[in-house]
Amino acid sequence: MNAFKVCSAISVLCTLVICVYIVPPIVVQGHVDVASGFEMFVVMPTLVAIPVSLVAAVIGVFGLRAPERRRSAPLLCAVFGQIVTWAGIVAVFVWAFGFASTGWELITLPFVLLVGQSFVGVGLLLLRRVNRLAAGSGT
C-alpha cells in the first residue's frame, strides 16, 4: 500500500497547486485569467494528477481485498476519494465529448479534483495519525 500512499500524496499535492492558483481569483474576481503561470499551475498538475489518481484508485481498490486493510477507515476514505475523483473525471469527459462543448466542463475539472482529493487528503492525514499512534503505543 506504499504505492497507494505515494500516488495519493502526489495527486493531492497537484490538486492543492491547482486550487491555490484557481480558487482565490474565482472568489475575488469571479474568473481566472489565462496568463503566465496558468500552464505550470493548472495544466501541468492536472495532467499529472489525473493518471496518478487512476493508478492510486486501482491500487486502492485491489489493495482493499486484504482482510487486515478492510477495517481501516482512513484507507477507505482515501480510496473513496480516488473513486469519487475518477467518477467526476469520467462525468466531465462524457460532458465534453458527448454533448456540445462549451468550455464549462474544463472549468469544472479542477473542482472535481478538489472534491475527490479532499477525501484523499483527509484519509492520508488520518492514516498517518493512526500509524503514529500505533508506533507510539509500542504495537
pLDDT in tens, 46-79: 999 999 999 999 999 988 887 765 668 888 999 9
**DSSP character at residue 30:** S
Q: Locate the DSSP E strands across 13-105.
A: none
Q: Which three cell numbers stand for residue 11?
A: 495527486
- pTM metric for this prediction: 0.87
pLDDT in tens, 116-138: 999 999 999 998 998 888 888 65
Give residue 49's pLDDT. Answer: 93
**Residue % of the chain over a pLDDT of 70:** 95
